A and B are shown apart, each in its own frame.
Chain A
Amino acid sequence: MTKVTMTVNGRPQTRDVPDTTLLSDFLREELRLTGTHVGCDTSQCGACVVHVDGRAVKACTALAVALDGAEVTTIEGIAQGKELHPMQTAFNDHHGLQCGFCTPGMIMTGIDMVERYKASGLPLTEEAIRHELEGNICRCTGYHNIVRAIEDAAQKMQAAPAAAAE
């Protein structure tokens, strides 16, 4: 067992966990933040994407003990109180989700993608969005409306200061 401390959604959290504990298990089982989903065991599906120190990470690929001192943001941490993040609103507006299981990972990936393109100044085209979504699998939506949602959120986030949501 190793003691690990992380800031999760703005709050410091300390737990003693086995060294083999994945970040996804740490969030789901230790902190009971069950919005981070696990859809595969080979780091392909992306349902578990969270932000670690401002970058999108598949939580099933990271060991909790390796993240001592890290800042982690999960799907539960992106809304400002009752006010949803523009990416969340866009998924609702464009019907970017059906069963909702891949959705947390899609939203966290979407936010990361928009912020990176915004920082680099590159245009976030449909082709770029589809390419950036390679690590996130959705079985319900056929991606059409996920792409529409990210396009729309990107426009709205363009107007907002970078990383305001973190």
Chain B
Amino acid sequence: MTDGIGARARRKEDRRFITGKGKYTDDIRVENQAYAAFVRCPVAHARINGVDASAALAMEGVIAVYTGPDLKADGIGDIITGWAITSKDGSPMKTGVWSPLVTEYGRYVGDAIAIVVAETQSQARAAAETVELDFEELPAVVLADRALEEGAAQVHDNVPGNLIYTWELGDEAKTDAAMANASHVTELDIVNNRLSPNAMEPRSAVAVYDEAEDHYTLYTTSQNPHVARLVLSAFYNVAPEHKLRVIAPDVGGGFGSKIYIYPEEIACLWASMKTGRSVKWTSERGEAFLTDAHGRDHVTKAKMGFDNEGRIVAFHVDTIANLGAYASLFATVTPTYLYGTLWSGQYDIPAIYGTVRAVHTNTVPVDAYRGAGRPEATYMIERVMEVAAREMRMDPAELRRRNFIREFPYQTQVILQYDAGDFDAILDKAQAAADVAGFPARRAEAEARGRLRGLGYSTFIEACGLAPSAAVGSLGAGVGLWESAEVRVNPVGTVEILTGAHSHGQGHETTFAQLVSDRFGVPIDNVQVVHGDTDKVQFGMGTYGSRSGPVGMSAVMKALDKVEAKARKIAAHTLEAAEDDLVIENGEVKVAGTDRKMGWHEVALAAYTAHNLPEGLEPGLKEGAFFDPVNFSFPSGALICEVEVDPETGVTEVVQFTAADDFGTIINPMIVEGQVHGGVTQGIGQAMLERVVYDEDGQLVTGSYMDYCMPRADDVPSYVLDHHSTPSPNNPLGLKGCGEAGAIGAPPAVINAITDAIGTETLQMPATPQAVWQALAWARTPVAAE
């Protein structure tokens, strides 16, 4: 039995997880194991005058304490950002210097100052508590818009006014002119709330230095171990690439937060060499809230102009993006090329212009989190569309349809060229699945129970399948975004796939195997997917930006093409037939129209015995490929949320949630549905529950699951899903990617539903009961004369 493309194959990787045999980084314990803990900056901004570790060093089990100057003296480099953004005046961006352990200034609560290495984890943590810091507290700034105010605290001396860049996109003059002639203009102030990604597995690192070989091994919670190795070698000077092996074993979720190479991994690797011990560090959840890169955190003024028939004539955006204390790896591109390029949404907008001012603040770095820029764009556009429909007294679905793009390819005003889509069809499917026609009756029924029921839409498009290397290079990227694959057919016909993509929940061990099964009729149990180890897979760019399908699987397809071509040569020679007459099906290579055939395993064995190969053909059956996409891919979808609000308490329940998506070709519907369930839940979390809060002094208020509200099972409903596929023309399988769609599309659907229920637009995320109640109260309060 085979499980090819489109099969709901059960996951091969599940068995180890459901039996407790998964191997995550913190499960790894090596010879000579020591443990690390970090001393962190206790205030949001401080000049560190001295670090006194004498008490710690005197404690039982303590091996060493190192600080920033120790790393600097050994030539360990500063932490880089991967994308250079140019301001609209042509000047390069200005970012602050980020040393792995601070050398002079602490710039956020949690900034790492010293690493303590001890025999046990509890000894390391206890010793870290005793390290005394001599510091002078400095003024701090926390909020994005405050950072730009006159007299705001300066986070870095070399970034005047805390302004990293002022980036622009689109045609300002054309947009202003079109806006001036609009017959209706909708303006909206939008806050995109700051979030903490919260992969359930905390970050962890096990660093092993082998003095005899002068070789390092790092086990770490990474979405992209090869990029980690590259950066650790080329920029942080920990070890040259050929002397450093990075292994990302089972990784318990990432959502972007495990793309980056953080100070802790750098310090552990270096400390392993200094101490001659294996050094292990595992984050506590409180430490994760303090130090894992956060997401979102935009403040935006959006303005959309319409003609008298509801067609969009102009869109204007003004955003301030908080990047935190330092510019993390994807931080500078997330609020620019991953955000501004989606300002056209699903709509034919003739004039678009916007600016983004990125700022430093005394908070943990903000970087890509599931969706990365595209949720911010979608939330803004879809809120504006809904509000505009209400202001113009139009049906919000009809307003969207009036503006849908229907001709493909479509060149937007903001760089991207959409390749394929059918926005009417997905909205039709969503409306049918959500029974929109029955909504008035449901609303009336709810009203009779004293509940306010609302319905909200979101029709989104996103760009993923990151990304054409030359294109991203021209926009400032420091790397190419292709992917690699190798297909190894063993002499017995079983197959290994090596991929540079990394699975941390996505199910690659199953879906990548389905490609082989589909091609050669090999059961998926006879296919092993190898990933996450720089010693096994030569190079790869990892998994983020919904790229494993459109880019990673495309590389596998290219390698499979090469394997198939060689297998055909061997079979044709053995069967004395023409290659073109061969068909491969059900695990056999057959001569069409005859009973002559070879089993797949016989072809494989023939390749390795090499007793009877065509003249000039090398033995073996193993091929590699690199795939560099020619365009982004463009998943799209229509989401419909229904909520019920208790007007007495503001308590809001999502009672129905429908998503109809266009992901192009689907390899495994079960896994794709799971991605949508999870993404939508994160979107509902952003819309109703989650918000990172720092107080005015920069202390993190939401530092645990007691304070930061994660979605629980009873916060969300069971979901109704549907699909409509328009395959992407730009990769061999027609894949578009599905990992981020739910998190991108869901927040505006939820807020549009709640504002529909309560009849006021003055509501920002998260729509907690208090926020909903207040919005209702204000809406009901008669405006008093001043």
B716 CB contacts on chain A under 8 angstroms: 142-144
A28 CB contacts on chain B under 8 angstroms: 27
Given contacts A41-B286, A99-B199, contact A140 B505 (CB under 8 A): yes
- Is the Cβ of B714 less than 8 Å from the Cβ of A134? yes
Chain A binder among B59-67, B251-259, B391-399, B412-420: B251-259
Q: Mark A104-131, 1 if CB is under 8 A from B, else 0.
A: 1001000000000000000000110111
B706: min CB distance to chain A, Å: 5
Query: How distant is the Cα of A145 from the Cα of B8 in the complex, in angstroms?
Result: 14
- Is the Cβ of A139 less than 8 Å from the Cβ of B200? yes
- Is the Cβ of A34 less than 8 Å from the Cβ of B714? no
Q: CB of A23 within 8 A of chain B?
A: no
Complex interface residues of chain B between 343 and 370 (CB less than 8 A to chain A): none
Query: How distant is the Cα of A145 from the Cα of B671 in the complex, in angstroms?
Result: 11
- Is the Cβ of B706 less than 8 Å from the Cβ of A95? no
Complex interface residues of chain B between 194 and 245 (CB less than 8 A to chain A): 198-202
- Is the Cβ of A92 less than 8 Å from the Cβ of B678? no
Query: How distant is the Cα of A99 from the Cα of B251 in the complex, in angstroms?
Result: 7
A154 CB contacts on chain B under 8 angstroms: none
Given contacts A97-B17, A142-B716, A144-B718, contact A102 B674 (CB under 8 A): no
- Is the Cβ of A101 less than 8 Å from the Cβ of B18? no
- Is the Cβ of B705 less than 8 Å from the Cβ of A42? yes
B772: min CB distance to chain A, Å: 21
- Judged by DSSP, the binding face of B is loop
Query: How distant is the Cα of A41 from the Cα of B703 in the complex, in angstroms?
Result: 11
Q: CB of A52 within 8 A of chain B?
A: no
A91: min CB distance to chain B, Å: 5
Across the interface, B252 reaches (CB within 8 A) one of A33, A75, A92, A99, namely: A99
Query: How distant is the Cα of A36 from the Cα of B706 in the complex, in angstroms?
Result: 21
Given contacts A92-B10, A134-B712, A142-B680, contact A40 B18 (CB under 8 A): no
- Is the Cβ of A131 less than 8 Å from the Cβ of B17? no
Instruction: Name the residue on A nearest B20 (C-beta).
Output: A35
Query: How distant is the Cα of A144 from the Cα of B712 in the complex, in angstroms?
Result: 11
Q: CB of A56 within 8 A of chain B?
A: no
Q: Mark B704-735, 1 if CB is under 8 A from A, else 0.
A: 11100011111010110000000000000000
Q: Mark A63-86, 1 if CB is under 8 A from B, else 0.
A: 000000000001110010000100
- Is the Cβ of A129 less than 8 Å from the Cβ of B285? no
- Judged by DSSP, the binding face of A is loop
B681 CB contacts on chain A under 8 angstroms: 141-143
Across the interface, A141 reaches (CB within 8 A) one of B24, B252, B678, namely: B678
Q: CB of B11 within 8 A of chain A?
A: yes
Among A33, A34, A136, the most chain B Cβ lie within 10 Å of the Cβ of: A34
Q: Mark A134-162, 1 if CB is under 8 A from B, else 0.
A: 10111111111111000000000000000
Q: CB of B192 within 8 A of chain A?
A: no
- Is the Cβ of B710 less than 8 Å from the Cβ of A139? yes
A124: min CB distance to chain B, Å: 13
Q: CB of B780 within 8 A of chain A?
A: no
Q: Mark A18-29, 1 if CB is under 8 A from B, else 0.
A: 101000000010
B253 CB contacts on chain A under 8 angstroms: 98-99, 101, 139-140
- Is the Cβ of B705 less than 8 Å from the Cβ of A145? no
B18 CB contacts on chain A under 8 angstroms: 75, 84, 88, 91-92, 97, 100, 103, 107
Q: CB of B14 within 8 A of chain A?
A: yes
Q: CB of A6 within 8 A of chain B?
A: no
B206: min CB distance to chain A, Å: 13
Given contacts A88-B18, A139-B255, contact A146 B122 (CB under 8 A): no
Q: Could you list which residues of chain B lie within 8 angstroms of chain A, going by C-beta atoms?
A: 10-11, 13-24, 26-27, 29, 122, 198-202, 250-253, 255, 284-286, 504-507, 670-671, 673-674, 676-682, 704-706, 710-714, 716, 718-719, 742
Q: Could you list which residues of chain A lie within 8 angstroms of chain B, going by C-beta atoms?
A: 18, 20, 28, 32-42, 44-45, 47, 74-76, 79, 84, 88, 91-93, 95, 97-104, 107, 126-127, 129-131, 133-134, 136-147
Q: What are 10 A-to-B residue pairs whose CB atoms are below 8 Å?
A: A34-B26, A37-B24, A38-B202, A45-B200, A98-B507, A99-B199, A129-B713, A134-B712, A143-B677, A145-B673
- 5 tightest Cβ-Cβ pairs between the two chains A and B: A35-B20, A101-B252, A100-B17, A142-B681, A99-B505
